[in-house]
C-alpha cells in the first residue's frame, strides 16, 4: 500500500468525489493528461494525499480547440436555458457540499467551515446566475434621428480562461464559471498547482451535469498545470477573456502578455487591507472583527486585515484586547470542527512568515505576540501582532500572505484615510465609527480608494451579491454580483434605420 492519505480508511471519503491515487488532470469532454505528475500534500501534516497528472502543452492545445467547438452550440442555447444548467450545477454542488468542503480543508488547509463556506459561495453564485439568466440586457436609447432605434446588444465574449489562486480553490472558479456560463461563454480552468485535487473534484461535479444534459463536457474544460499552461493561456488569442486571480507579481506578467495581444483581462490581485478604528468605535465590534479578519484562514485571504490603524486614544486598550483574543484562538487540524486556525498552505509560506518578522523587527517593529513556527507537524505558525512600525515602513506596504498584523497609531481622520490609500494595493478597507459624517467622507471621493469599502464590519467576508475586486495594483477587475456580468460580455451599440430617409447624426448634411 502506498503512503497516500487517500488509501487510509480515515480519508476514504475522498473517493466519494471520484478521486483515486492517480487522477487525470485534463478534462475536455473526456479525461486525460500525460504531463508532469504532481503530488498534492496536506498542509496540516505535509503527508501526500494523492497524485494528479497535469496537462502537456499539446493537451492544452487540443482542449482549447474542443472548448471553442463546444461554444458554437452553447452560445445558441437561450440564456434562461443556460441558467437552468447552472441551476443544476448549483444543486449538484449542494449534494457534495460537505465532502467537497472537507477536501478544501484537507488540501488547502483552511478550517472545515470555511471550506464548506467556499462551496456555499459557488452555490450562491449559481443561484444568482440563474436569476441573471433572465435579466441580462441592454437599454434602448433615444436616437436623435427620426425613424431610428439605438439599442445596446450584449453578446458572450466566447472562451473565458480562468486561472485561480490556491487560497480559494473552489469559490473563485465558481464566481467566474457560473456568471460566464450564463452569459453564454465556455470556460477553461487552470487551478493552482498545489490544489489540483480540488480542481479535479469540482470539474467532475460540473462535468456530470453537462454530460447528463447531453451537452459537450468541453463547455467547462480544465487543464491542470503551472506557469507553462498559465502562460499559454495568457498568450493565446483564442482566449477571449482571461480572468486571473493571484499575486500582483504574477498578475502583472499575465496582464502584459494579454495586453500584448489586445486581449481582455479580469485581474483579481493582491491586497493590503486596513481596518481603521476611531475614538468613538464600538470596541465590542472591533475586537472580534479584527481577530476574524487577521487570523481567519491563517492570514491567507486576499481581504485579510494586514494593517490595523488605531486612534491614539484607544490604541493600547485595543492591542491588549486583541492580543488576549489571539491567545485564545483554537489551533488544530483544520478539519476538526472546534479549530479556528489551521496551517499555512506551504513550507515556502512559513519561510516568508519568518522573513517578514525579521524585516519588521529591523524596521522598528515590536512583537506583541506570536512570531514563531509552531512545534508540531505541518506548516503551523503563531498568529502575530507587531506594533511600533511607521505607517510607510516597507514591510507594512508589502502583502506577505501570512498571519501578521501590523498595528499603527494615528491621530487624525485625514492621516488615517491617507495611510489607508498610500499603499499600492486597493482591495478592501473598513472603518469603525459612529460618526455619520465620517462614514460618508469615507465612502466619498476623498475617502477609501479601495474596491471594497466597509463600515463597522471587517475587511474580509464579502457577500456574492456585490461586485468583488479592487483598484490600483489589485488589478481593477470585478467579479460575482452587481453588474460584473458585463465583464464576461461584449457590448455592441446598434443603430437601426427603419425609415426611408438617411439623416446623419449631428445634423450633418452630405449632399
Ligand atoms: N483579489 C482577489 O480576488 C484575490 C483572491 C484570492 C487570492 N488573491 C491573491 O492571490 C495571491 C495568493 O495566491 P497564489 O500564491 O496562488 O498566487 P500566484 O500568483 O502565485 O498564483 C496564481 C495562479 O497563477 C499561476 N501562475 C503562476 N505563474 C504564472 C505565469 N507565469 N503565467 C500565468 N499563470 C501563472 C499559478 O499557477 C496559479 O494558478 C495573493 O496575492 C492574494 O492576495 C487575490
User: What is the per-residue pLDDT across 328-362, written as a single tens digit (0 to 9) for each?
Assistant: 999 999 999 999 999 999 999 999 999 999 999 99
Return the CATH superfamily for domain 56-269+475-492. Answer: Aldehyde Dehydrogenase; Chain A, domain 1 (3.40.605.10)
User: What is the per-residue pLDDT across 420-446, written as a single tens digit (0 to 9) for each?
Assistant: 999 999 999 999 999 999 999 999 999
Calculate mean pLDDT across residues 11-27. 98
Query: Does the annotation list 399 as a binding residue?
Result: yes
For residue 2, the model assigns a pLDDT of: 66
Written as nine digits, the cell of 352 is 516568508
d(CA 432, CA 289): 10
Q: Coil, helix or strand for 190?
A: strand
How many A from CA of 475 to the centre of ligand 1? 12
Residue 317 has pLDDT above 70, yes or no: yes
User: What is the per-residue pLDDT across 39-86, written as a single tens digit (0 to 9) for each?
Assistant: 999 999 999 999 999 999 999 999 999 999 999 999 999 999 999 999
User: DSSP per residue over 2-59, as a string?
Assistant: -S-GGGSGGGGGGGGGT--SEEE-EESSSEE--S-EEEEE-TTT--EEEEEEPPPHHH
> Looking at ligand 1, which residue's alpha carbon is closest to its atom 5?
302
Q: What is the number of alpha carbons within 13 Å of residue 244 lying toward its C-beta?
A: 32
> Looking at ligand 1, which residue's alpha carbon is closest to its atom 38?
192
Domain boundaries, the chain: 56-269+475-492, 273-463
> Looking at ligand 1, which residue's alpha carbon is closest to its atom 10?
246
Written as nine digits, the cell of 353 is 512568515
Could you tell me whether strands 148-156 and 489-497 are parallel, antiparallel, or unpaired per DSSP bridges? antiparallel
Could you tell me whether strands 479-480 and 220-223 are parallel, antiparallel, or unpaired per DSSP bridges? unpaired
d(CA 156, CA 218): 17
Residue 311 has pLDDT above 70, yes or no: yes
Q: Coil, helix or strand for 230?
A: helix
User: What is the per-residue pLDDT across 212-267, written as a single tens digit (0 to 9) for each?
Assistant: 999 999 999 999 999 999 999 999 999 999 999 999 999 999 999 999 999 999 99
CB-based contact 34:56 (threshold 8 Å): yes
d(CA 81, CA 84): 5
Q: Judging by beta carbons within 10 Å of its beta carbon (0-12, 13-18, 19+), is residue 417 exposed, middle or buried?
A: buried
Q: How far is CA 142 from CA 42, 145, 146, 148, 495, in A?
A: 59, 9, 10, 9, 11
Choosing from 268, 382, 413, 479, which is the catalytic residue?
Answer: 268
For residue 1, the model assigns a pLDDT of: 47
Q: What is the number of alpha carbons within 13 Å of residue 229 lying toward its C-beta?
A: 31
How many A from CA of 455 to the centre of ligand 1? 28
Scan for cell 487560497, then name that residue.
167
How many A from CA of 509 to the centre of ligand 1? 55
Q: Ligand 1, residues 118, 242, 250: which to mutate, most atoms within 8 A of Cβ?
A: 250
- Whether residue 413 lies in the annotated active site: no
Query: Does the annotation list 468 as a binding residue?
Result: no
Q: Judging by beta carbons within 10 Å of its beta carbon (0-12, 13-18, 19+), is residue 312 exposed, middle or buried?
A: exposed
Q: How many CB atoms lie within 10 A of CB 207?
A: 24
User: What is the per-residue pLDDT across 147-197, written as a single tens digit (0 to 9) for each?
Assistant: 999 999 999 999 999 999 999 999 999 999 999 999 999 999 999 999 999
How many A from CA of 199 to the centre of ligand 1? 15
Q: Ligand 1, residues 247, 304, 349: which to mutate, most atoms within 8 A of Cβ?
A: 247
- The residues, ordered by sequence, that sit 6+ positions from 511 with a Cβ below 8 Å of its Cβ are none
> What average pLDDT does the structure give for the chain?
98
**Quick one: fold of 273-463?**
Aldehyde Dehydrogenase; Chain A, domain 2 (3.40.309)
Which residues line ligand 1 at a C-beta cut-off of 6 Å? 163-168, 172, 190, 192-193, 226-227, 230-231, 234, 245-247, 250, 253-254, 268-271, 302, 399, 401, 427, 470, 474
Query: Does the annotation list 40 as a binding residue?
Result: no
From the list 167, 150, 431, the residue with the least C-alpha distance to 281 is 431
How many A from CA of 309 to the centre of ligand 1? 27
User: What is the per-residue pLDDT across 380-413, written as a single tens digit (0 to 9) for each?
Assistant: 999 999 999 999 999 999 999 999 999 999 999 9
- Please give the number of the atom of ligand 1 that sits closest to the Cα of 268: 1
Amino acid at each position: 500500500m502506498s503512503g497516500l492519505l487517500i488509501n487510509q480508511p480515515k480519508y476514504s471519503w475522498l473517493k466519494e468525489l471520484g478521486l483515486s491515487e492517480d487522477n487525470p488532470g485534463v478534462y475536455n469532454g473526456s479525461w486525460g493528461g500525460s504531463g508532469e505528475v504532481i503530488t498534492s500534500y496536506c498542509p496540516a501534516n505535509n503527508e501526500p494525499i494523492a497524485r494528479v497528472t497535469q496537462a502537456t502543452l499539446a493537451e492544452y492545445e487540443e482542449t482549447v480547440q474542443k472548448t471553442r467547438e463546444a461554444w458554437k452550440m452553447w452560445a445558441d442555447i437561450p440564456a434562461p436555458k443556460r441558467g437552468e444548467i447552472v441551476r443544476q450545477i448549483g444543486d449538484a454542488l449542494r449534494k457534495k457540499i460537505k465532502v467537497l468542503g472537507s477536501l478544501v480543508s484537507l488540501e488547502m488547509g483552511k478550517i472545515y467551515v470555511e471550506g464548506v463556506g467556499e462551496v456555499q459561495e459557488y452555490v450562491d453564485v449559481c443561484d444568482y446566475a440563474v436569476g441573471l439568466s433572465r435579466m441580462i440586457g441592454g437599454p434602448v436609447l433615444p436616437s436623435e434621428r427620426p425613424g431610428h432605434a439605438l439599442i445596446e446588444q450584449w453578446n458572450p465574449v466566447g472562451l473565458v480562461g480562468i486561472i485561480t489562486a490556491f487560497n480559494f480553490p473552489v469559490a473563485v472558479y465558481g464566481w467566474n464559471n457560473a456568471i460566464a456560463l450564463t452569459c453564454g461563454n465556455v470556460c477553461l480552468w487552470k487551478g493552482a498547482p498545489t490544489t489540483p485535487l480540488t480542481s479535479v473534484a469540482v470539474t467532475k461535479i460540473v462535468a456530470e451535469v453537462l454530460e447528463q444534459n447531453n451537452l459537450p463536457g468541453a463547455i467547462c474544460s480544465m487543464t491542470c498545470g503551472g506557469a507553462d499552461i498559465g502562460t499559454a493561456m495568457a498568450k493565446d488569442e483564442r482566449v477571449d477573456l482571461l480572468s486571473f486571480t493571484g499575486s500582483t507579481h504574477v498578475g502583472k506578467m499575465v496582464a502584459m502578455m494579454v495586453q500584448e495581444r489586445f486581449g481582455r483581462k479580469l485581474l483579481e490581485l493582491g491586497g493590503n487591507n486596513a481596518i481603521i478604528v476611531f475614538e468613538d468605535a464600538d470596541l465590542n465590534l472591533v475586537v472580534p472583527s479584527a481577530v476574524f479578519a487577521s487570523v481567519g484562514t491563517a492570514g491567507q485571504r486576499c481581504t485579510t486585515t494586514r494593517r490595523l490603524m488605531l486612534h491614539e486614544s484607544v490604541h493600547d486598550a485595543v492591542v491588549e484586547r486583541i492580543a488576549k483574543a489571539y491567545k485564545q484562538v483554537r489551533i488544530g487540524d483544520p478539519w476538526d470542527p472546534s479549530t479556528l486556525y489551521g496551517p499555512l498552505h506551504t513550507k515556502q509560506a512559513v519561510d516568508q512568515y519568518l522573513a517578514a518578522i525579521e524585516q519588521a523587527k529591523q524596521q522598528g517593529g515590536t512583537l506583541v505576540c506570536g512570531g514563531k513556527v509552531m512545534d508540531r507537524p505541518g506548516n503551523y505558525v503563531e498568529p502575530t501582532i507587531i506594533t511600533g512600525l511607521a505607517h510607510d515602513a516597507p514591510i507594512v506596504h508589502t502583502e506577505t500572505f501570512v498571519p501578521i498584523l501590523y498595528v499603527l497609531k494615528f491621530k487624525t481622520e485625514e492621516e488615517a484615510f491617507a495611510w489607508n490609500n498610500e499603499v499600492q494595493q486597493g482591495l478592501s478597507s473598513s472603518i469603525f465609527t459612529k460618526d455619520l459624517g465620517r462614514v460618508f467622507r469615507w465612502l466619498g471621493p476623498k475617502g477609501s480608494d479601495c474596491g471594497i469599502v466597509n463600515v463597522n464590519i471587517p475587511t474580509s467576508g464579502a457577500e456574492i451579491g456585490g461586485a468583488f475586486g479592487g483598484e490600483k495594483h489589485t488589478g481593477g477587475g470585478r467579479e460575482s454580483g452587481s453588474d460584473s456580468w458585463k465583464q464576461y460580455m461584449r457590448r455592441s451599440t446598434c443603430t437601426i434605420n427603419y425609415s426611408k430617409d438617411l439623416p446623419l447624426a449631428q445634423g450633418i448634411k452630405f449632399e
